Structure 1
Amino acid sequence: MILVLGGTTEGRLAVKVLDESGKPYFYSTRGEWQQVCCRHGQRVTGGMDAEKMEDFCRSQGIRLLVDAAHPFAVQLHETVEQVSRKLHLDVVRFERIYPARTDEVIWCKNYQEAVRRLKEGGISRLLALTGVQTIGKLRDFWANATLRPECWFRILDREESVLLALRQGFDASRLVFYHEDAPETELLEKLKPQAILTKESGESGGFVEKLEAARRLGIAIYAVCRPALPASFITVTGIHGLRKAIERLLPDFYPLRSGYTTGACATAAAKAALIRLLTGESLSEVRFHIPDGEELSLPVKSVWQEGDASATAAVVKDAGDDPDVTNRSVIEAKVSFSAQPGIHFLQGRGVGKVTLPGLGLPVGEPAINPAPRQMIVRELSALYDGGLDVTISVPGGEELALRTFNPKLGIVGGISIIGTSGIVRPFSSEAFVEAIRREVEVCQAIGAGRLVINSGAKSEKFVKREYPDLPPQAFVHYGNYIGDTLKIADDLHIGKVTMGIMLGKAVKLAEGHLNTYSKQVVMNKQFLMELARDCGCSPEAQKVISDMTLARELWKGLPEPDAVLFFPALLNLCMKHCLSLLSRTELTLMLIDEEGHIACRLTGQGGKQLVH
């Protein structure tokens, strides 16, 4: 069992991550006002001292603590550390992402120093954005009889907050209230303070917005530095790092492990290679940022240097429990100094080359997708501002590519370095849907005129006979993701789409299931019996449906008069659900029987009624 502490943005994100497991956990907040929806978690409210937390952990069998509290909740952090030491529990700290400190901010290590610096700066009009709990800590400033400063505190618009401010002796007329939708500049323009005092609360605490508003109005900025965390805490900075930490510390909590994309591995390898080139250091683990700003780490298999101008590092791809063809492959990155400014990507062995338009990369470029390129550029540019050549290689990538969509996409010579998030979800729908989007973009770029989507090779072979003049890139597999594929076609304004569908998927789609994955949805015989009744089939058809095991038995089991009624009605429902996703596209549905014949055909227009 896991106990999450903290009614913060990070706490709500932690709840989302834990809910993915489908297993119970506890979520603790000091108050009840925080809006948190736990699908599988049990909410616990009320502050806990060390004794209460220890008793709770013992009685509930807590095996892991997740500290997602506010960075300035010092007492809670200390309590968590004390309990974790006594009970030998690991603590994962879900930390915020903090922007780099700049000289335009006057940094104070604590509130006492803040008071001193404010006095030294001659500040007589101050807006404190540090919260109601800090009023007493700043008393030596706002209650100073000599300075008599004008000081406002912005607090939450709650009765308990106002009462706490009054108990600390603060003037109620000097309280202003936080409103979520109000821009930061609004209050500053109204009060016109000389300075603001804030806490280093990170990106999720609105720190950046406060700084930008004050900077724009020429207002001095004082900030109290975030307190140091206990050294024993395992720090993560986002949802992916949290899940990876839980997977490592409690391997039985999630049914499937997440993994890393080839793009993340290439980024880690490139950074390790550049560090070797610049410093001579060979890292065994390297930290890097994924596109959402979260910092992750990957082990480095090996690093070696070739003279003074280049170095290479290798990272082993770990796809978790996703059935990825590149799992356990070695991703190598060679980084070399270049006389040309900027960072240039070169094709290494096992990485494909783009030969067709529509992939978002120029023809002739190595198949390193935009997101991985951006990740690599960001990491390397932070270390070195000169020219660099980056060569990504995947030994054995030529053979692996034959098991991917690359040949159809016109990517020759190897695999693609892909990944939009840096993370592979187990049995990742994101990766599959992204591959579908890439294929549809190629179809559009070469001007195919029609997109033909099919569940797999079998249905594609049958439908290809209907469109012998279309290029191979016009035929795309949707697998189980019918809805996602149609949404992509609509997003890209594809004018004409044909979908071939076998009966097993059609009976699920007709009921409204736009993802037909067998582990998520099964054939509903009751639904099919009702459909047969509604379209006028005989009682014999009802019995055939009741007795069947597989949908394909309908082809031979239904009497001919019933088949003539049933299959068009089934396809009509499929069309209805598909058209709900299309705003303009013309869609043709083809129901394919076991022999590859087109049993029924129907055409409809997105945003309109069926054509025929």
Structure 2
Amino acid sequence: MILIFGGTTEGRTAARVIDEAGKLFYYSTKGNEQEINLQHGERITGALDTGQMEAFCHEKGIRLIIDASHPFAQRLHETIIEVSGKLQIIAIRYERIYPARLKDVFWCKDYEDAITRLEAESISKLLALTGVQSISKLKSYWTQHSCWFRILNRESSRQLAIYQGFPPDRLCYYQPEEDEHSLLRQYRPQAILLKESGESGGFTEKVNAALEENIKVFAIQRDEEIMKNFVEIVLGEYGLQFAIQKYLPEFFPLRIGISSGTCATAATLAAAKALFEPFAEIKKVTVQLPNKEPITVYVKEVTKKPIIEPDGSDQMFETTATVIKDAGDDPDVTNGIAIKASLSFVRNEGKGAELRSSPEDFKLVLRGGEGVGIITLPGLGMELGTPAINPAPRKMLEDNLKHYLTQIGLSVFDGTFVVTISVPGGEEIAKRTFNPRIGVEGGISIIGTSGIVRPFSSEAFVNAIRKEMEVAKASGTTCVVINSGAKSERAIRSQYLELPAQAFVHYGNFIGETLKIAAEIDIPEITMGVMIGKAVKLAEGHLDTHSKKVVMNKEFLKEVANKAFCCQETINKIDHITLARELWTLLGGEERSRFFTLLLNLCREHCTPLFPNKLNILLIDEEGKIY
């Protein structure tokens, strides 16, 4: 059984992730102000002291505690650490992502230190953004100086402020739609005081707005030491699910995993660390996913060998790191393979290793080694003859390497980093994939849009879709948006900003099963985002679009083109396409409009019998534009 301490954005996310498992859990908040829909969770309210928390954990059989509370909920953190230690319960901290500490900010250890520093800087007009609980802690300051406190616009907060003796006419209220600049221009303080609340707490926006208005910024530092007492710290939903999979392996019906692109990135980071931190023990690295969430990836092996220059001198080393791909419960032929990255640095001819300060000087050559396929046909969005390392993993690898070098103070050298990705046995594995059919020869592709592998091929995954649908319905939304994955969801979210996060469900390849579930639980309206690769299969009547079960049928596409009154030249060109996405460039003008309209109508014909309620189908191109 899992117990979440929430009341925050992180708590809401944790509840959503855990709800998808379809098992009972508990969600605890101090008050009842946070609105949250729990399909399988039970909410409890009220602060718990050590004895009460201990008794609750005993009674409910709690095996895992997730502390997703506010970073400044010090007493709660201490209680969780004490109780979990005493009862031998695993305690995980779901932490916020914090920006680097700016030198322009006055960093304060605590409220007493903040008062001392405010006085030292002769600040007599302050806007405090530290919340109603901090009023009493700053009393010695606001009784002597002009001070406003911004608090939540609710009666309990007002009463607490008055109870602490603060003048009501000096209160201002948080308005979600209010721009920080307008607030600062209204009160014109000399300084603002805020807590180091992280990205989800709007810290960066507040600081930037104040500095742009030439207002000084004082910030109370978070307590980093107390967080070290948790068994593990996670920084997002994927890290949370990985942690739960580790400590409660039976909790989720299906395990998520990491993509080959994430493995290649992790191996590259480990190789870089071995090159620049030669005495470091490298068992794991932190990879930043495309959604900016950092996750931990374990490293199997790191080796180093000298590169011998023509004159016989040892000028540099080449380091190689190996990561084993864990695809979770996805039946992926690449699960368990070793993905290697070899990294070396080549100096510019005639120059030494001169440091540069500009990130624009960063140069990276990415090569494919053993077991990585080569692009031999057009249509894959990559140049012919280049390694089959897709654009998203390329960018993730480059961004992570650049970030690491910046972190250690080696932003860029006057030279080029050469990274070679290899997959021992990849050529044999590729024969069991569709790579040879689409023009990728000699090995596998390094792929992954989100960096995470969700299992899309089992009965358990369909059950997971059902649970997500039930959670979506429980959220009160009348429209559920279904997408194949992260890429199509990003494209379509901008059209549905008013919907809660629970209203977005991934169908993977199971379009038919997802629509049946939606009909069974009586979802009033479905909007389905579909990319061209799945649309051409769905239009032919394939409700399970997995590439292992069905491939693009060019003869069918030629029939559609004929019915859409495309010219014979266009129809003939369909014979030469490798992937369905090439249709976006092959078709133009009126032909494009007629073809895709007919394609969507055919998709609708196959979907309507499964879902008789309102159904919208949106076709999404490779740039994320909606047709």
Do both proteins adopt the same fold according to a TM-score greater than 0.5, normalized to the shorter chain?
A: yes
Distance 1:58 1:73 in 2: 23
Which residue does 1:132 correspond to in 2?
132
Residues 458 and 278 of structure 1, relative CA distance in 2, 3 Å threshold: closer
Distance 2:444 2:233 in 1: 34
Task: Show CA shifts across 1:445-482 (max 9, x none).
Answer: xxxxxx978565599498489699432636769xxxxx
Which residue does 1:473 correspond to in 2?
577
Distance 1:474 1:442 in 2: 14
Which residue does 1:298 correspond to in 2?
297
**Partners of 2:389 and 2:446 within 8 A in 1:** yes
Residues 461 and 207 of structure 1, relative CA distance in 2, 3 Å threshold: closer
- For structure 2, the 5+ residue unaligned runs are 307-315, 349-361, 458-483, 490-507, 510-528, 563-570
Distance 2:453 2:580 in 1: 22
SS at match of 1:351: coil
Residue 152 (structure 2) pairs with residue 178 (structure 1): no
Which residue does 1:318 correspond to in 2?
326
Distance 2:556 2:44 in 1: 57
Residues 462 and 442 of structure 1, relative CA distance in 2, 3 Å threshold: closer
Residue 274 (structure 2) pairs with residue 272 (structure 1): no
| Residue identity opposite 1:405 in structure 2 | F
Q: CA deviation at 1:355?
A: 3.3
My pick for the range that moved more, 493-502 or 29-38, is: 493-502
**Partners of 1:349 and 1:394 within 8 A in 2:** yes
Q: CA deviation at 1:17?
A: 0.6
Which residue does 1:381 correspond to in 2?
402
Distance 1:180 1:131 in 2: 15
Q: CA deviation at 1:353?
A: 2.2
Residue 129 (structure 2) pairs with residue 25 (structure 1): no
Residue 161 (structure 2) pairs with residue 165 (structure 1): yes
Q: In the alignment, which of 324, 327, 338 is matched to residue 335 of structure 2?
A: 327
Which residue does 2:429 correspond to in 1?
400
Q: In the alignment, which of 345, 370, 374 is matched to residue 349 of structure 1?
A: 370
Which residue does 2:288 correspond to in 1?
289
| Residue identity opposite 1:496 in structure 2 | F
**Partners of 1:94 and 1:237 within 8 A in 2:** yes
| Residue identity opposite 2:218 in structure 1 | Y
**Partners of 2:244 and 2:251 within 8 A in 1:** yes
Q: In the alignment, which of 426, 434, 446 is matched to residue 417 of structure 1?
A: 446
Q: CA deviation at 1:432?
A: 11
Task: Show CA shifts across 1:413-443 (max 9, x none).
Answer: 2211111111111227538989999995899
SS at match of 1:271: helix
**Partners of 1:358 and 1:441 within 8 A in 2:** no
| Residue identity opposite 2:215 in structure 1 | I
Residues 460 and 501 of structure 1, relative CA distance in 2, 3 Å threshold: farther
Which residue does 2:216 correspond to in 1?
220
Which residue does 1:371 correspond to in 2?
392
Distance 2:54 2:592 in 1: 59
Q: How does 1:202-601 map to 2 (within 5 A)?
A: 202-228=198-224, 229-233=226-230, 234-280=232-278, 281-307=280-306, 308-339=316-347, 341-382=362-403, 383=405, 384=410, 385-386=412-413, 387-427=416-456, 430=485, 440=532, 456-457=549-550, 460=553, 463=556, 469=572, 470-471=574-575, 473=577, 496=595, 509-513=607-611, 580-581=616-617
My pick for the range that moved more, 279-288 or 135-144, is: 279-288
Distance 1:339 1:268 in 2: 24
TM-score, with length taken from structure 1: 0.75
Distance 1:416 1:388 in 2: 22
Distance 1:164 1:577 in 2: 48
SS at match of 2:485: helix
Which residue does 1:526 correspond to in 2?
none
Distance 2:344 2:620 in 1: 49
**Partners of 1:459 and 1:500 within 8 A in 2:** no
| Residue identity opposite 1:155 in structure 2 | I
Q: CA deviation at 1:364?
A: 3.0
Which residue does 1:196 correspond to in 2?
192
Q: CA deviation at 1:407?
A: 2.8
Residues 167 and 584 of structure 1, relative CA distance in 2, 3 Å threshold: closer
My pick for the range that moved more, 113-122 or 430-439, is: 430-439
Residue 149 (structure 2) pairs with residue 113 (structure 1): no
| Residue identity opposite 2:390 in structure 1 | N
Which residue does 1:61 correspond to in 2?
61
**Partners of 1:331 and 1:394 within 8 A in 2:** yes
Q: How many residues align?
A: 502
Residues 170 and 305 of structure 1, relative CA distance in 2, 3 Å threshold: same
**Partners of 2:270 and 2:321 within 8 A in 1:** yes
Task: Show CA shifts across 1:179-215 (max 9, x none).
Answer: 0110111110111111100000000000011011101
Which residue does 2:567 correspond to in 1?
none
Structure with higher RCO (Cα < 8 A, 6+ apart): 2
Which residue does 1:545 correspond to in 2?
none
- For structure 1, the 5+ residue unaligned runs are 445-450, 478-484, 514-572, 586-605, 608-612
SS at match of 2:147: strand
SS at match of 1:427: coil
TM-score, with length taken from structure 2: 0.73
Percentage identity across aligned positions? 46
Distance 1:272 1:6 in 2: 34
**Partners of 1:276 and 1:303 within 8 A in 2:** yes
Q: CA deviation at 1:358?
A: 3.9
Distance 1:51 1:443 in 2: 57
RMSD, aligned CA: 3.6
Which residue does 1:531 correspond to in 2?
none
Q: How does 1:29-44 map to 2 (within 5 A)?
A: 29-44=29-44
**Partners of 1:424 and 1:431 within 8 A in 2:** no
| Residue identity opposite 2:272 in structure 1 | L
Distance 1:114 1:49 in 2: 29
Which residue does 1:610 correspond to in 2?
none
Task: Show CA shifts across 1:291-315 (max 9, x none).
Answer: 1221111111111112033111010
Which residue does 2:312 correspond to in 1?
none
SS at match of 1:349: coil
SS at match of 1:17: helix
**Partners of 1:453 and 1:476 within 8 A in 2:** no
**Partners of 2:327 and 2:453 within 8 A in 1:** yes
| Residue identity opposite 2:259 in structure 1 | T
Distance 1:378 1:432 in 2: 19
**Partners of 1:5 and 1:69 within 8 A in 2:** yes
The higher radius of gyration belongs to 1
Q: CA deviation at 1:150?
A: 1.1
Distance 2:244 2:619 in 1: 42
SS at match of 1:127: strand
Residues 263 and 73 of structure 1, relative CA distance in 2, 3 Å threshold: same
